[in-house]
Structure 1
Amino acid sequence: MTDQPKEFKAVWERTRDLGQKLDKVNERLETLEGQNLADAVAELSLVVKKLAEKPESAKPIVWNWGAFSPEQQAAAWEMLLDWMQTTFLERWPRSYKEMLGYAQSPNSCWYKHPDMVETLTGLFAAYHWAFTDAESGPLRVAEWLDRWLPGAVRQGKFILADCKGIDLKEGHADPFRNKKQVEDYEDARAHVHLLTTGELPT
C-alpha cells in the first residue's frame, strides 16, 4: 500500500469505511425485520383509532326480578323505595298518588302486586335513562314526562282497579286468583298433553 498513490489509498479507505457502515445498516435492518414492525404499526394504528372514537355510553341495566336472589331482591327494593320516596313522591306527588292508589285510599297494597312492581321498576329505569344518563338530552326528559310517566300512572290504576286491598284477618286477597283459574290451567295443560302425545292425561 505504501507504493500506491495517495489518491488511490484515500479511495480504498473510503470504500472500506462505506462497506463497514453498510454492514452495520444491514444488521439493523435484520434486527428491525425480526421485530415484526409492520404488525406493531398496524396494532398501534388500531389502538389510536379506538382512542379517537367517541366512547360508548353505558347500557342501562335491566332488572329481572324473577332471576334475583333474595339478597339482590332486597337491594333492589331499597333502591326502588328510595327513589319513590325521595324523587317520585317529591317531584310528581299527583302522579304518585294516582298510580299507587293513594288518591282513593290513605293506604295501598301496591307492593303486593308483582305487575305493579314491574311497572314501577320500568318507570325507575326510564327516569335514570332520561335524567341521569350522560348521553341524555331535553328530548329524553320530554319523552319521560309525556310518555313514560303518564303510561305508568295509567297502568298502575288499571292494576289496582279491582283490588280489594288488605284485610286484617285474611291478608291480601288477589281478585285474579281463584279456584276456577286453577282449573283452567289444569284444562290447558291437559290440552297441551293431548296435542303432544295424542293421548288424554291419566
Structure 2
Amino acid sequence: MAVTRRQKEVLDFIAGFVERQGYSPSFEEIARGLNLKSLATVHKHITNLQTKGILQRGHNRSRSIDVLPQPRAQRAAPTRERLPLMGRIVAGLPVEAVQTSETISLSDIVGNKEVFALEVSGDSMRDEHIVDGDYVLVERTRAARDGEIVVALVRGSETTLKRFYVEGDTVRLQPSNQEMLPILIPAGQVEVQGRVLGVLRRY
C-alpha cells in the first residue's frame, strides 16, 4: 500500500534503528531522529502505518514497534507492450468502420516522462470524469501550472487529487465536484508530487 514521503522516512528510521540497536525506537527517539517537534505527529504516522499493515505495535510491552514483512509482488502475467489500434470510433451516429494496422502503447501517451499510476478513491473529481476506482497516470514533478490536475501532499502527511491554483501566499486545491468546497492552504504546506497525464478505467 502506498505511503507518504514522511511515512517512508519514519519507516526507514525505525528499520535502521532496529538493525543497529536490536530493538525498536521510542516515540521520543523517532521524533529526535527525524527532527519532529510533536510526539502526536509521530503517533499519527505510526498509527497510519499500522492501519496500512506495515507496522505492528505490541500494547503490553515497551519499544514494541515491529516492521512487518511485506508480501513479495506476484510475478505479473506477460502483457502486451503495444495494443492494436483498430481505427477511430464516433460516439454519435454510426459510420463505416475502417481497420488500420497501427498500434498504441502507454509510452505513446506518456512519452519519456517518469510516470506512476494511482487508484482514485472518492468522487471529488467526478466532473472531470475521474471517479472512484479509476487509475490516473501521473507525471512525477514538483512543479505545476495553474489549473492543472495534480497529486498534492498537504501538511506533509495527506495526499489529494485536485486542480491546482496559486493565489498569493495561498494554494487553492479545487475539487471538480459542485458539492465540495475548495481546500485553501498556505503555500508552504503544499507540495506538488505530480500532475495527471491521463486516466484508465476498467469495466
User: Bigger radius of gyration, 1 or 2?
Assistant: 1
Instruction: Give the TM-score normalised by structure 2.
Output: 0.20
Please report the TM-score for the alignment, with normalisation by the length of structure 1.
0.20
Q: Which is richer in strand?
A: 2
Structure with the bigger percentage of helix: 1
